[in-house]
């Protein structure tokens, strides 16, 4: 047998680094793989079981490979509005927003979360940002190039990041830190647990309610232990993280999003608020403006697949004899109970319910454009 | 009946001229949750080492090679409805296909149970 494990595609030539929780993962029985330059847990008891556990209870994910950055200094909002297409000036304290870095041609360099801090978290920094692990050093280089000297960017490489996700995440975290019960989706705050400061946002990448918790590397083992001692919580690996986010219709950078594709085509226009569309003033604006007016050349869509055979990244998509796109993420969806995929198809073939075919090992399988998410989001919003 | 193993983690039970082929318990454990098995058509002939089947786990697709040359005389239809049989019973009910062996001498280089156990322990 030979595996062609798509998780390991991002494996780098450099020696893999260890996350702060490396020993903890191994002690919990994780199978480790190389991902984004780190040894990371792909699974503990099994992807299917971990996926289902997260949808029904709460899963703990170590996402410490991601880049955590802070920004401060005079003119930080104006400077970030050149780099990001999102409304930063209008971002209120303790609020978080999904955004992107675009290049001059409007291609996507990374997708990210940006939040306005408050109080004295992270030495009073104004803005906190989380970027993807595999792209963080490129992102930092790009931003240094485009930020004025007055703005100070700090890469917090001694900071760990945990995600607690699932319908019981709220109840679980409130067991340790009761004040977190008041957070709503995309809100954040500074909390204290056993005198350790934690920056917590109510967000995540599984489609479930949950939190992302930034904590110093030296304290993270203690917190991971305390969370996994709760009856609702189990550790979850990268494998289930991928199937959960795919069911939630959330794009994965390096797969569904790349410098070759645009924000509007990717259906990420929601991250570009009205004022920014009208006023522009950010890198990549011309492409955004043009595609808002004329439509993108191709679009990121969900794909429902007939039968049981999964279509994976790289599989070509056809309308009759013509190749009209490519699968960028695909696999078996445990909660849906069937294979699903995400892909890019040319605009004329991207309407909901369009019948298409995907080629898998020389065979054509029937598929159709489906609305996303495949599994409804269950974020905790205002009642 | 004798059971042989390959270093590609397949097992082969040989009874007369018929060889039953599956993947080992170690292999299913490595693959994780299996969601689809693509089996060859009956009547297909394989040379040793040909791509014979594909196992799709939640995370990836993996090829299964023909461990010896032969003609496919039967495939395990139960895997169509229940691919997870490969996880729950890899070395019995989770078999993949049966071959009519064309060259029994190809079995000579393969491992027996003890040798395979040793091989797995060395990985």
Please, where are the H alpha helices in chain A?
22-27, 47-56, 76-83, 136-146, 169-176, 220-228, 238-247, 274-279, 285-294
Kindly give, in sequence order, each residue whose CB lies less than 8 Å from that of residue A156, ignoring residues fewer than 6 positions away. A68, A69, A70, A122, A214
Measured between alpha carbons, how far is residue A81 from residues A89, A90, A335, B92 in Å?
Answer: 8, 11, 39, 62
* ipTM of this predicted structure: 0.85
* Strand ranges in chain A using DSSP code E only, listed in sequence order: 2-5, 31-35, 38-43, 58-62, 67-72, 96-102, 108-116, 127-131, 152-155, 159-165, 188-193, 196-201, 210-216, 233-235, 298-305, 316-319, 322-333, 338-346, 355-360, 363-370
State whether residue B12 sits within 8 Å of chain A by CB. Answer: no
For B79, nearest residue in chain A (alpha carbons): A308
Rounded-to-integer distance, Cα A317 and Cα A355, Å: 11
Contact B64 A339 (CB under 8 A): no
pLDDT of A6: 46
Peptide linkage before A209 cis (omega within 30 of 0): no
A positions 337-356 inside 8 Å of B (CB): 339
Tell me, what DSSP letter sits at residue A92? P
Paired tokens of B10: 């397949």
pLDDT by residue for chain B (123 residues), tens only, comes to 789 999 999 999 999 999 999 999 999 999 999 999 999 999 999 999 999 999 999 888 999 999 999 999 999 999 999 999 999 999 999 999 999 999 999 999 899 999 999 999 999
Rounded-to-integer distance, Cα A253 and Cα A136, Å: 12
pLDDT of A118: 87
Rounded-to-integer distance, Cα B120 and Cα B117, Å: 5
pLDDT of A50: 98
Walking along chain A (383 residues) 10 residues at a time, the average pLDDT comes out as 48 81 98 95 95 98 98 97 98 97 98 92 92 97 97 97 98 98 97 96 98 98 98 97 98 98 98 97 97 97 96 97 98 96 98 98 96 97 85
Kindly give, in sequence order, each residue whose CB lies less than 8 Å from that of residue A53, ignoring residues fewer than 6 positions away. A59, A166, A234, A236
Q: How many other C-beta atoms can be found within 10 angstroms of the C-beta atom of residue A151?
A: 22
**Among candidates A6, A46, A308 on the partner chain, residue whose Cβ is nearest the Cβ of B32:** A46
Rounded-to-integer distance, Cα A376 and Cα B78, Å: 33
Q: Are A41 and A62 in contact (CB under 8 A)?
A: yes
Q: Distance (Å) from the C-alpha of residue B56 to the closest C-alpha of chain A?
A: 7
Contact A3 B36 (CB under 8 A): no
Paired tokens of A67: 């880049």
pLDDT of B9: 97
**Among candidates A1, A7, A49 on the partner chain, residue whose Cβ is nearest the Cβ of B64:** A1
Output phi, psi for A251, to 5 deg: -75, 150
A309 vs B contacts (CB less than 8 Å): 36, 38, 56
Rounded-to-integer distance, Cα A338 and Cα A134, Å: 29
For B82, nearest residue in chain A (alpha carbons): A308
Rounded-to-integer distance, Cα A163 and Cα B51, Å: 41
Q: Distance (Å) from the C-alpha of residue B62 to the closest C-alpha of chain A?
A: 4
**Domains of chain B listed by start with CATH number:** 2-121 (2.40.50.100)
Rounded-to-integer distance, Cα A378 and Cα A206, Å: 9
Q: Are A122 and A115 in contact (CB under 8 A)?
A: no
**Domains of chain A listed by start with CATH number:** 6-66+158-247 (3.30.1360.120), 297-383 (2.40.30.110)
Among B12, B25, B35, pick the best mutation site for testing chain A contact (most A Cβ within 10 A): B35
Distance of alpha carbon A275 from the chain centroid: 25
């Amino acid at each position: 047998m030979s595996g062609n494990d798509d998780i390991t595609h991002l494996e780098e030539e450099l020696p893999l680094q260890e996350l702060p929780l490396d020993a903890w993962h191994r002690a919990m029985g994780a199978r480790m793989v190389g991902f984004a330059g780190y040894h990371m847990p792909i699974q503990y008891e099994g992807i299917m079981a971990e996926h289902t556990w997260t949808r029904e209870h709460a899963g703990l994910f170590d996402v410490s490979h991601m880049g955590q950055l802070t920004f401060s200094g005079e003119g930080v909002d104006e400077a970030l509005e050149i780099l990001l297409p999102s409304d930063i000036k209008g971002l209120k304290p303790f609020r978080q927003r999904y955004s992107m870095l675009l290049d001059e041609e409007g291609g996507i360099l990374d997708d990210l979360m940006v939040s306005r801090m408050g109080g004295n978290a992270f030495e009073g920094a104004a803005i906190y940002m989380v970027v993807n692990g595999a792209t963080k050093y490129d992102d930092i280089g790009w931003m240094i190039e485009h930020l004025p000297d007055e703005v100070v960017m700090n890469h917090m490489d001694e900071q760990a990041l945990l995600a607690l996700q699932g319908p019981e995440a709220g109840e679980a975290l409130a067991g340790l830190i009761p004040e977190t019960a008041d957070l709503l989706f995309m809100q954040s705050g500074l909390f204290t647990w056993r005198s350790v400061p934690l920056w917590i946002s109510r967000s995540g990448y599984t489609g479930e309610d949950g939190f992302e918790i930034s904590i110093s590397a030296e304290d993270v083992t203690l917190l991971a232990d305390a969370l996994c001692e709760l009856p609702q919580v189990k550790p979850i690996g990268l494998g289930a993280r991928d199937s959960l986010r795919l069911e939630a219709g959330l794009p994965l950078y390096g797969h569904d999003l790349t410098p070759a594709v645009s924000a509007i085509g990717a259906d990420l226009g929601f991250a570009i608020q009205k004022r920014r569309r009208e006023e522009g003033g950010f890198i990549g604006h011309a492409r955004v403006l043009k595609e808002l007016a004329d439509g993108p050349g191709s679009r990121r869509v969900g794909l429902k697949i007939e039968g049981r055979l999964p279509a994976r990244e790289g599989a070509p998509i056809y309308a009759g004899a013509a190749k009209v796109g490519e699968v960028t993420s695909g696999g078996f969806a445990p909660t849906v109970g069937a294979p699903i995929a995400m892909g890019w198809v040319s605009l004329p073939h991207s309407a909901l319910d369009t019948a298409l075919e995907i080629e898998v090992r020389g065979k054509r399988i029937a598929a159709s454009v489906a609305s996303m998410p495949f599994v409804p989001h269950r974020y905790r919003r205002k009642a | 009946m004798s059971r042989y193993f390959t270093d590609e983690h397949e097992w082969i039970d040989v009874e007369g001229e018929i060889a039953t082929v599956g993947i080992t318990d170690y292999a299913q454990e490595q693959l994780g949750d299996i969601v689809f098995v693509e089996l060859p058509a009956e009547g297909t002939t394989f040379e040793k080492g040909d791509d014979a089947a594909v196992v799709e786990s939640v995370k990836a697709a993996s090829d299964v090679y023909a461990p010896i040359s032969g003609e496919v005389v039967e495939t395990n239809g139960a895997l169509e409805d229940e691919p997870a049989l490969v996880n729950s019973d890899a070395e019995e009910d989770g078999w993949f296909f049966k071959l009519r062996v064309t060259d029994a001498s190809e079995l000579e280089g393969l491992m027996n149970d003890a040798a395979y156990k040793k091989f797995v322990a060395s990985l």
